[in-house]
Structure 1
Amino acid sequence: MRTEPPINTSVAEFSQYVRLSTLPTASRFELATLPENNTGIGVPGPTDYVALIAAIKLPASGASLITSQPRFAESTPVPEAFRRAWLSAPEKDALRRASIQGSVAYNIRALATHPTKRALAIPVSAEEWVLYLEYVAP
């Protein structure tokens, strides 16, 4: 039986992954792996991806640290499986847009607390952001 992993809403725990000058007013995040291990009996093979997916709300003043980071120049898509069911339609759309050349996405690797292969912050609205931090990728 497949079950959805719990979504973490702790702003304090989120800050263990990303250093921001202002704490988010709200956060939802998940540390996910592909292939997924929702069976409880172990991963079915090698873990190809490990990534943090987050949706956060930041006051406009808090977003300035993100917007001061360089724009993400690559157009590598975020794997579709990381557009999680718990994300809103606009948040999923933001992850989809991150792979389009010329879209607005910020490279936040310098803000990550652990080494990442890619770290993106994509604005959903003035105060809402979706983040994708890729730790392991093929």
Structure 2
Amino acid sequence: MKTILNIIWLVLSGLWLSLGYMLAGLVLCITIIGIPFGIAAFRIARYALWPFGHTVVERRDAGAPSCVGNVLWLILAGWWLAIGHIVTGVAQCLTIIGIPLGIANFKMIPLSLMPLGKEIVPTDRPYPAWGSY
């Protein structure tokens, strides 16, 4: 079932959302300070292509730098990426078939607003693989 949902997701919104995250990542990687934010955007771009079968978990060892980074991310890129998820989610919820996809879009909003200190893992392993980042 998750494969079918991922294919429908890819066609209806995943490709566009992933391109938005990649564009944000490229813009953020222009400066040395923005490189960690760009890497986070590229991680989310991969997740935006194929989200079903993966989940987001919070890393307990992230610390204060990720909090400061999340504030900067929110100002630089997070708000307009979240708006993209809101618009896409509302449009998908207009049809019965699109409701699961719209809900998945709404679940991605917190990640798009504050991605640092979070890890994307498969749902069959819903705990972070420490040391694999």
Task: Looking at secondary structure, tell me which structure has more strand per residue.
Answer: 1
Task: Looking at secondary structure, tell me which structure has more helix per residue.
Answer: 2
